[in-house]
Structure 1
Amino acid sequence: MKTSRLILIPLLVIQCLPVLCFSTDFDFFYFVQQWPGSYCDTKKSCCYPCTGKPRSDFGIHGLWPNYEDGSYPSNCDPQSPFDESEISDLTSRMQSEWPSLACPSSNGSKFWGHEWNKHGTCSQSVLNQHDYFAAVLNLKNKVNLLQILISAGIIPNGQLYSIESIKEAIRGASGHSPWIECNVDPCGNSQLYQIYQCVDTSALTIIECPVFPRGRGCDSKIEFPSF
């Protein structure tokens, strides 16, 4: 019996090694949406997609796996590149809710491919490619950021608003605190650029953020430009 156990143990270790090598774990997601008016209102400007000017709403930037220590995995599986045919049934929704404003104009596939290759491949223990993009679209529908802000009297009209009032409006509607990223317009004004919300590892539920990103801070009052 002792000999039999000695033989079995190495075999079990060898069988488990491939799983350990290729599995990727993470602690939560950042779900990031950006305001198109702020993206375009910079010195580098923007280019509308081939489908035309996006609607005046927050657009998706991505769903990013992260660790609780503030670090994050990236480009986890070069053997699983973006395949647009996998999401053909989602394309029209993505063009509307996940548009690319980068120049030159495009249909968005390069943007989506970047998001999958850098971030999505690190969530494959939970989501395949189709499920990843579908989950992002569904998350956007869970919390309507623009309507939340408008209901709180925070309107994209080029005026300045307290960053605390923006956070409070989103916290009151979603139950959880967001993180706000600002950029700077050509005149040097700090403006509302991206809103981060944290999501559990199933990509279903918005949660309180274990840690906020390290990034550009905001002035106490920030511009909410029109689009």
Structure 2
Amino acid sequence: MKLNLFILSKLLILQCISAVYLQDFDFFYFVQQWPGAYCDTKQSCCYPKTGKPAADFSIHGLWPNYNDGSWPSNCNPDSVFDKSQISDIISNMEKDWPSLSCPSSNGMRFWSHEWEKHGTCAESELDQREYFEATLKLKQKVNLLRILKKAGIEPDDEFYTLNSITDAIKEGTGFTPGIECNRDSAHNSQLYQVYLCVDTSGSNLIECPLLPKSKCGEKVQFPKF
């Protein structure tokens, strides 16, 4: 009897741990960033060891979120980043998901951070390989630079209204984006990150249950890179 109770208690503990690690979530934020805005700040940036990235939006991450505005993070400390899981898509990762942080790196530290902080909270839906593959596929599906250029919005250091940027992306994707701005050394509001929402499968764009606060001015600079 005591042995059965011991086994039962162990099973209950394991179930509780699993429930904590594999938390449910409501949707993903798929976040792309403009490298010109990342680099055009007092903090500046460092190019990856592979060289200067293309003048294109790059992936920041795919982040599980709740409908109430909160989000899970670091859900499974035992699920560490394993580069062998993505060995055959490294070239795509380097192209579409480069790290611009300093010191210059090969991206592994950045991808490890994204998996361990955000990806582990999506393990109920996507394993590590699926998480990175799904994010790369979203990047191919959502070509922000082409969408904006089609609307006459170019990375030329000119200023565009926030509404025109939002409307262009909504027209191009079918969904309302969240726009995040940062400031350059002259304190100009500049286009930094674009948030779009994705269902829990990591495959389909959806209308966002809520959008992050933009912190943008009415007019936004689209800096060169």
TM-score by length of 2: 0.92
Distance 1:12 1:81 in 2: 29
User: In the alignment, what sits opposite 1:5?
Assistant: none
Q: Which runs of 5+ in 1 are unaligned?
A: 1-10
In the alignment, structure 1 residue 217 sits paired with structure 2 residue 225 = no
Larger radius of gyration: 1
Report the 3-state secondary structure (helix = DSSP H, G, I; strand = E; otherwise coil) of the residue aligned with 2:98.
Answer: coil
Report the 3-state secondary structure (helix = DSSP H, G, I; strand = E; otherwise coil) of the residue aligned with 1:111.
Answer: helix
Report the 3-state secondary structure (helix = DSSP H, G, I; strand = E; otherwise coil) of the residue aligned with 2:86.
Answer: helix
User: In the alignment, what sits opposite 1:18?
Assistant: 14
Q: CA 1:176–1:13 in structure 2 vs 1: closer, same or farther (change >3 Å)?
A: farther
Q: RMSD of the TM alignment (CA)?
A: 1.5
Distance 2:221 2:114 in 1: 28
Deviation at 1:20, TM superposition (A): 4.8
Deviation at 1:213, TM superposition (A): 2.1
User: In the alignment, what sits opposite 2:189?
Assistant: 190
Q: CA 1:106–1:153 in structure 2 vs 1: closer, same or farther (change >3 Å)?
A: same
Deviation at 1:37, TM superposition (A): 0.2
In the alignment, structure 1 residue 226 sits paired with structure 2 residue 213 = no
Aligned residues: 216
1:173-197 Cα deviation digits (max 9, x unpaired) = 1111000000000001000000000
Deviation at 1:85, TM superposition (A): 1.1
Q: CA 1:16–1:175 in structure 2 vs 1: closer, same or farther (change >3 Å)?
A: farther
Distance 2:27 2:8 in 1: 30
Report the 3-state secondary structure (helix = DSSP H, G, I; strand = E; otherwise coil) of the residue aligned with 1:49.
Answer: coil
Distance 1:12 1:198 in 2: 40
Deviation at 1:139, TM superposition (A): 0.4
What is the identity, as a one-letter code, of the residue corresponding to 1:18?
L
Moved more, 21-30 or 180-189: 21-30
Deviation at 1:74, TM superposition (A): 0.2
1:12-48 Cα deviation digits (max 9, x unpaired) = 9985763454131000000000000000000111000
Q: Which runs of 5+ in 2 are unaligned?
A: 1-6
Deviation at 1:58, TM superposition (A): 0.1
Distance 1:135 1:177 in 2: 21
Distance 1:182 1:218 in 2: 5
User: In the alignment, what sits opposite 2:174?
Assistant: 175
TM-score by length of 1: 0.92
User: In the alignment, what sits opposite 1:3?
Assistant: none
User: In the alignment, what sits opposite 2:3?
Assistant: none
Percent identity, aligned pairs only, is: 60
User: In the alignment, what sits opposite 2:62?
Assistant: 63
What is the identity, as a one-letter code, of the residue corresponding to 2:111?
W
